[in-house]
Amino acid sequence: MSERILSFLSLIVRRIFSDVAETLWDNIWEEIFEAIIKAEEKWQESGQGKVKKEWVMEQVMDYIQEEVELNWIKRRMVEFFLSQVIDALIETFNELVGEDWIDQVKELEEEWRERYLNKKLAD
């Protein structure tokens, strides 16, 4: 998909959400990242990409529908936009960090936890 089309859709989707609140836009991104990570943890075996993506889409759309009432056209536009964003994020994660990025996230999380706990205990 061309960047121009994705940018155009991003503009439209953002305008849809700007009616509710600017923070909703930021919260949606958090929901997307959180759902992707949960899906990666939930389905660790390979070949589950379609199932993971459908689950992520469902989680994020559930969140959005709790916050905003969307008509049929707006819902389809948001779903299409989310689909493209999820694909792009996963592709980018795999490209930059590798296929095992969820394991690397867990290792980094543990490292941060240890640093934080050690610092807190030292104080």
Segment 62-84, tens digit of pLDDT:
999 998 888 999 899 999 999 99
Segment 105-121, tens digit of pLDDT:
777 778 877 877 776 66
Q: How many CB atoms lie within 10 A of CB 56?
A: 26
Q: Are 93 and 101 in contact (CB under 8 A)?
A: yes
pLDDT at 25 over 80: no
Question: Of the candidates 79, 25, 23, 73, which has an alpha carbon nearest to the alpha carbon of residue 56?
Answer: 79
What is the average pLDDT score of the chain?
A: 82
CA distances from 54 to 48, 66, 78, 114, 118 (A): 10, 18, 14, 34, 40
- Whole-model pTM? 0.67
Q: In sequence order, what are the residues at sequence separation of 6 or more whose Cβ sits closer than 8 angstroms to the Cβ of residue 69?
A: none
- What pLDDT score was predicted for residue 122? 65
Local confidence band at 18 (pLDDT 50, 70, 90 cut-offs): low
Percent of the chain with pLDDT over 70: 89
| 18: amino acid identity, one letter | S
